[in-house]
Amino acid sequence: RAGHERQAQVARALAGHLRANNFERWLLAEALDLLVDGASRILRELSGGQYDLVHDKGEFFVVDHYDAGLRRGVRTLSGGETFQASLALALALSEQLAGLSTTAASLESIVLDEGFGTLDAATLDTVAATLENLAAKGDRMVGVVTHVPALAERIPVRFEVRKDARSARVERTGR
């Protein structure tokens, strides 16, 4: 009798957990945890060990190891640091999506089309250095769509669109 009661108790608890909204909430929380863990690992690399990424109740924070492990909201990051955190999330998401694929598909490239024209010189330098570090690792291609000459010059392989009155052509420059 006690065994049957215990089984019924477990069945009720399991049914409660599997209700559509509870299960969906749990699944989303697990996916977010995995995403933030992956992004944190990548952000640590991109930031030279300065930042880890964490989340709590829908808010993102960084742990600043250069400031005694202070936990700060991501809104306090500079433009370059925000770019690094965003790129880390995008790269982690691409890793997760590749891992979920039932085929041998992989996402080995990302194209960024950001508002680089609005970034100040220091932020552009951080962005360029981050992209150079990724390129040096060689395990993923990151493409950038930009109209900012200072950023374009630092990208080793470029495809430039040249237009005249009648046509446009794409020309490869760089290595």
Please give the angle made by the CA atoms of 151, 54 and 113, to the nearest 5 degrees.
Answer: 25
110: β partners:
142
How far, in Å, CA of 85 to CA of 39, rounded? 8
The answer on pLDDT for 25 being more than 90 is no
Give 63's contacts (C-beta < 8 A, 6+ positions apart).
51, 52, 53, 54, 69, 70, 71
Lowest mean pLDDT among 37-46, 56-65, 108-117: 108-117
pLDDT number for residue 2: 64
Mean pLDDT on 43-54: 91
pLDDT digit string, tens, across residues 162-175: 888 888 888 888 76
Please name the residue that has the structure tokens 């085929």: 103
The answer on pLDDT for 104 being more than 60 is no
pTM beyond 0.85, yes or no: no
